[in-house]
Amino acid sequence: MRVDVAARIRVYLLVTLIFGLLGMGTELLLIGHFETVQQRIPLMLLGIGLAAACWHARAPTRRTIAVLRTVMTLCVVSGIVGIWLHYQGNEEFELEMYPAMQGFELVRKVLTGATPVLAPGSMALLGLVGLTLVYRHPVVHGGAAAPPTQEGDI
């Protein structure tokens, strides 16, 4: 891939990441996702991620890349843990209401319950966008994109 194309894609990824972090943070604030410490963790990660992404946009360095890589990895982990917590919360609620429920019926009720089970996956997706942004970044690889592993690779 030509360096100018790779640079343009990195800009698109950075803009996507910044808007995604802003949007998700706004949504979580609007729905009141800050009642417990567990609910505040994604908000903190989104805020730190937004600050890191803006810092990186202003002056990309090895340090900004390392910070972004760390925060985005935590976003992926947070998304996975969030899916589990949402599932677990819905399951506890359904079993409290209908103790005999089990199998596919329970899974269906849990997945369509009050807490959106798959919503935290968006957090993981933003983390993957950020990790893609810093993957083989030219700042880390001597000012140019890392050479392809084989001729013709991107």
Three-state SS sequence of 62-111:
HHHHHHHHHHHHHHHHHHHHHHHHHHHHHHHHHHHHCCCCCHHHHHHHHH
In a domain, 89, yes or no: yes
Q: What is the pTM of this model?
A: 0.88
Task: Determine contact, residues 3/144, Cβ cutoff 8 Å.
Answer: yes
Q: What is the pLDDT of residue 144?
A: 52
In a domain, 144, yes or no: no
In a domain, 72, yes or no: yes
CB count, 10 Å around CB of 80? Answer: 15
In a domain, 147, yes or no: no
CA 22 vs CA 3, 4, 49, 136, 143: distances in Å:
29, 27, 10, 25, 30
- Cα(130)–Cα(8) distance, rounded to whole angstroms? 15
Q: What is the pLDDT of residue 146?
A: 46
Q: Nearest Cα to 74, choosing from 52, 55, 57? A: 52
In a domain, 68, yes or no: yes
In a domain, 142, yes or no: no
Host domain of residue 105 = 3-134
Tell me the pLDDT tens digit for each residue of 18-53: 999 999 999 999 999 999 999 999 999 999 999 999
In a domain, 141, yes or no: no
Q: What is the pLDDT of residue 1?
A: 61
Q: What is the pLDDT of residue 4?
A: 87
Share above pLDDT 70 across residues of the chain, in percent, rounded to a whole number: 91
Residues lower than pLDDT 50 in the chain: 145-147, 149, 152-154
- Cα(50)–Cα(104) distance, rounded to whole angstroms? 39
Local structure of 154: helix, strand or coil: coil
Give the number of domains in the chain. 1
Which two tokens mark 68? 């972004």
